[in-house]
Structure 1
Amino acid sequence: MKLHTLKPAEGSTKTNKRLGRGQGSGGSTAGRGHKGAQSRSGYAKKSGFEGGQMPLQRRVPKFGFKNNSKVYFKAVNLDVLEGLAAKANAGSLTLQVLIENGIVGKNDKVKVLGRGELKAKVTVEAHAFSTGATQAIEKAGGTATTVK
C-alpha cells in the first residue's frame, strides 16, 4: 500500500449532479422547477418567510417586557449546602466548590436561601444571602461572605 494508491472505499463517495451545464444535465430548468423566486439566480430565502403569507412572527401579538438591568440569581438552599458540606468535607463552601459540584454554573450569580437546616460549621461564599440563611449559617457557627 502506497500513498498514491489510496482511494475511498467502493460506494462511499458520490459525484454531484452537474446542473446547468448544457443539454442532458438536468434539463432546461437544471432541477429548479419552473419560474418563481427559487428558480432565479441570487435567491436567498429570508428566515421566517412563509411564501407571502403573513408570517407567524407578525401574526402573534407582542407582549411583555425584558428588563436588561435586572440581576438574576441562582437559588441555593441550606439543605443543599448541608449535603455538600458532608460530601466535600470542606470548611469553606466557595463559589468554586459549588461550580465543581455542579450546583451552579460558572456564570451564575448565587443567592443562598433559608430552606432546610445547616448543622455544619462552614464559611459560605455567595453573591447574596437571605436574612434567614445568614442567621442559620451564623447560628451553626459559620460565616456568610458576600462576593462581588
Structure 2
Amino acid sequence: MELNNIKPAEGAKHAKRRVGRGIGSGLGKTAGRGHKGQKSRSGGGPAVGFEGGQMPMHRRLPKRGFKSHLLQFNAEVTLTALDALGLPEVDLLSLKQAGLVGQLAKVVKVINTGAIAKAVKLNGIGATAGAKAAIEAAGGSVA
C-alpha cells in the first residue's frame, strides 16, 4: 500500500446535493423548498427557541444563580501541592511558573488539604486558618 493508493471505503463518500441547477436535476426551480411560505425564504423560519407563540421554555423557567466574573482572578493551592513544590519561599510568580495557578490569578490562597512536612515561607499569599496552623507547625511562616 502506498499513500497515493489510499481511497475511502466504497460508499463512504457521495456527491453533495446540488440544488437549483435546472429541471433535469430534479431539484430545480424551488430547490426542494416547496412553494412560498416562511420556510422557502432565505433566512426564513422561526427563531431558535420559538414555540409557536407559547411562552418558550427558556422564559418559563426561573432565573437562578450568579457567576462572578472576578472568580477567574482567584486561585487555590493545597498543602500537598506546596509540599511537592519544594521551594523554601513561595510567592505568586513562583506558583505561576510551576503551573499551580493560572496566569490570570491575582489572589491566591492556600487551603488545608493534605499535609505539609517542609518549612515554607509564603510571601503575598493568603492561607486559611487550618492551613496557616499546618504551615507554622512544619516550621514555615505566612507573611
Bucket of the pairwise TM-score, normalised by the shorter protein = 0.5 to 0.7
Cα contact 1:112–1:126 (8 A) shared by 2: no
Q: Distance in 1 between matches of 2:46 and 2:123?
A: 51
* 1:104 lines up with 2:101 in the alignment: yes
Q: Under a length normalisation based on structure 2, what TM-score does the superposition of the two structures give?
A: 0.61
**Which protein is richer in helix relative to its size?**
2
Specify the code of the residue in structure 2 equivalent to 1:105. G
Q: Under a length normalisation based on structure 1, what TM-score does the superposition of the two structures give?
A: 0.59
* 1:77 lines up with 2:78 in the alignment: yes
* SS across alignment from 1:82: helix
Cα contact 1:111–1:126 (8 A) shared by 2: no
Q: 1:95 to 1:67 in 2, by over 3 A?
A: closer
CA apart distance, 1:16: 5.2
Q: Number of aligned pairs?
A: 133
State the partner residue of 2:42.
41
Cα contact 2:135–2:141 (8 A) shared by 1: yes
The correspondence for 2:92, drawn from 92, 95, 111, is: 95
Specify the code of the residue in structure 2 equivalent to 1:111. K
Q: 1:21 to 1:59 in 2, by over 3 A?
A: same
Deviations 1:17-57 (A, max 9, x none): 54334433413320223444221133266343345554221
Identity fraction in percent: 43
State the partner residue of 2:24.
24
